Structure 1
Amino acid sequence: MREVGATATLTRVIFELSEAEARAALDVIPGLTWEPIDRDRLPAVAAFYAECEAYDDNPERKSLAGLQEFWDSPRSRPEEDTLVGSDAEGRIVAVGWSGCNRVVTEKRGVRLGGAVRPDSRNQGIGRAVLRWEMAHGLEWDRATRRDGYGPLVMSLFAPVGQADVRDLAERHGLTVERYFFEMALTLRDPLPVPNVAGVRLVDWDEERGEEVHATVDAAFRDHWGHVDRTPEMWAEAVTAQAFRPEWSVLAVEEDTGAVVGAALNCAYEQDWEATGVREGYTDELAVASTHRGRGIASALLRESMRRFATSGMEMATLGVDAANPSGALRLYTGLGYEPRAETCVHQLTRAGNQ
């Protein structure tokens, strides 16, 4: 009970802490100077994250291209949402990343993505970084909130085994809300692609992007944490460096010509460097709720596997919510996917009137 009370007290302190106070606490850390991340430093930031993610055995790795895409997005405000702490030699010691989603109002999302170099941990830097990230998210929400906006949701993703970050998150009121499995299947002999009565599988079609967007978002509305994406967010996803249109597959209803499912596939080459294995990743697998139970999802995955193998990939991979309501985990294990890593999501939700 004492630990619960201490956490609640600390959470109240976080809500009362101004961003200016949190920023001042960073400035008094000996030997470090702080400034927003400049685009020219992104290669160094990418290398910093790679070192941290390798040490923490993180199943998802950041890439320089991904950081640059974030930077260049008109939705981003890196000059407001990021800080980098450097030592006297210019070496990056810590990054504070409090990504505020400024275009979705149903839930006001803030992604907490800070990190500290492994050899500089246990010195209070991570605590100060997290407090700044949370104070920044809270202050942004207070300053920009309007009537009708949904709750503020601050999220921190961490490998299940990263005990230091998970403990830090818990002590700051970020409780575990969900677990996700990373799953993999070795592409020895790709499974045959079955025919689905009344449905045909076709290539990705950029001209149908708006329809696919609507189908995918509708299919995920019964999933935890989902919010519909704006057209700009969707466009960024399907033009990203990692997206592979030649691997992606659409399911089209023969009678109506409507898109009723999709497998959107990606190549996260920074993960290949970490694992030593070339992988095709199914980033989104969606089937319209009116067409589930007909084998469409299985057909989409099998066709994706075939395309991965044809391109020289060694494994098919994907991520899944451990409590997915659609039975996705059973589908994946039935096809031969096996869990290889587990990530948890810590969150703190604050109603708009608080």
Structure 2
Amino acid sequence: MESRKNPPRSNTVLGFDPDGVPRAYARISKNRDGEKAHGFGCVDPQWQRRGVGSALLQWLEARTRQRFAEDAGAAGGPDAEPRLRIFIEQKHEHQAALLASSGYHVVRYFNEMHRPLAGPLPQAVLDAGLELVTMEPHLSEAVRLAHNQAFADHWGSEPRDEESWRFTVNDPLARPDLSAVVLETGTGDVAGYQLASHDPESAATRGFSEGYTELLGVRREFRGRGIAQALLADAMRRFAAAGMDKASLDVDSENPTGALALYLKMGYHPVNRSVAWDKVL
């Protein structure tokens, strides 16, 4: 499925060695009305320290300026201030040095957290009037709308339109059988959701198999009723039943809903940190 709003042909660049082997890439993603573009990139370790990363960063910045100009022209309005955001793992010091020397600054930290699945798993019971069901295709649009509501007060979050949501739920690694939705029994409204993924190939490189919670959200009017806790407990049981060693997720270190405290309470522990870097172009 090719994106109409971020078509690869105009928003991706590849670097090949003389033998035609791809060694580097960079990609831009931006919502038309978004206040920022997201940049992604990577260089084969054997080809680092040759200026390839710097060249990719220059391309990302140039394409970001173009995307903002294109979107302003399509909307018939003035040019917005171009902003590029790049996420990297904190341990990648060479990438951090490149971004810092290129005028980027750190705006946020995120924690990758793991929860071993061996041994007793937590149990959580939902309030009366709520029910937990496995994620199904007919729930997708309602979950999308619930996600936009749940994340309206989260830093850096932008509403997911139908196209970007399809990329999320139809991702090859998505596992709806390991995902769940909490519904209000009387109305059928979505109160919360947990969308999971699993990469079977990562076990070979990481040494363990993990179920990953891509998205976890609870609509504001349903918060304080233990829904997130119930969804996480359910996810752990689904992951364990599928033979996985760990439950994994990422969390904003300054999440306004107190998610970090909840994850720690349920046995998750930080194992890695990623950093969001911004530059106004």
Indicate whether the TM-score tops 0.5: yes
* Higher radius of gyration, 1 or 2: 1
Q: Is residue 272 of structure 1 aligned with residue 199 of structure 2?
A: no
Q: Which has the higher strand share?
A: 2
Partner Cα distance (2:95, 2:231) in 1:
37
Once the two structures are superposed, the pairs formed by residues 179-218 of structure 1 within 5 Å of their partners are: 179-188=109-118, 189-218=120-149
What is the deviation of 1:119?
Answer: 2.6
Partner Cα distance (2:105, 2:41) in 1:
17
**1:335/1:75 Cα in 2 relative to 1: closer, same or farther (>3 Å)?**
same
Once the two structures are superposed, the pairs formed by residues 312-323 of structure 1 within 5 Å of their partners are: 312-323=243-254
Q: RMSD in angstroms over aligned alpha carbons?
A: 1.9
**1:144/1:74 Cα in 2 relative to 1: closer, same or farther (>3 Å)?**
closer
The C-alpha deviation readout for 1:191-232, integer Å capped at 9, x for no partner, is 223232331111213212211111111000100111101111
Tell me if structure 2 keeps the 8 A contact 1:282–1:317: yes
**Structure 1 counterpart of 2:215:** 284
Q: Is residue 219 of structure 1 aligned with residue 146 of structure 2?
A: no
Size of the aligned set, in residue pairs, is 277
Once the two structures are superposed, the pairs formed by residues 1-354 of structure 1 within 5 Å of their partners are: 72-95=2-25, 97-101=26-30, 104-145=31-72, 146=75, 147=77, 151-188=81-118, 189-349=120-280
SS of residue matched to 1:264? strand
What is the deviation of 1:149?
Answer: 7.5
Partner Cα distance (1:149, 1:304) in 2:
44
What is the deviation of 1:76?
Answer: 3.3
Tell me if structure 2 keeps the 8 A contact 1:247–1:265: yes
Q: Which has the higher helix share?
A: 1
What is the deviation of 1:171?
Answer: 1.8
Larger RCO (alpha carbons 8 Å, 6+ apart): 2
Question: Identity, % of aligned pairs?
Answer: 32
The C-alpha deviation readout for 1:257-286, integer Å capped at 9, x for no partner, is 211111111113343232121111111111
Structure 1, 123-132 or 325-334: larger mean CA deviation = 123-132
Gaps of 5+ in 1: 1-68
Q: 2:116 is matched by which residue type in structure 1?
A: T
Tell me if structure 2 keeps the 8 A contact 1:107–1:151: no
**Structure 2 counterpart of 1:61:** none
Partner Cα distance (1:271, 1:150) in 2:
40
**1:235/1:125 Cα in 2 relative to 1: closer, same or farther (>3 Å)?**
closer
What is the deviation of 1:341?
Answer: 0.8
Tell me if structure 1 keeps the 8 A contact 2:32–2:71: no
Gaps of 5+ in 2: none
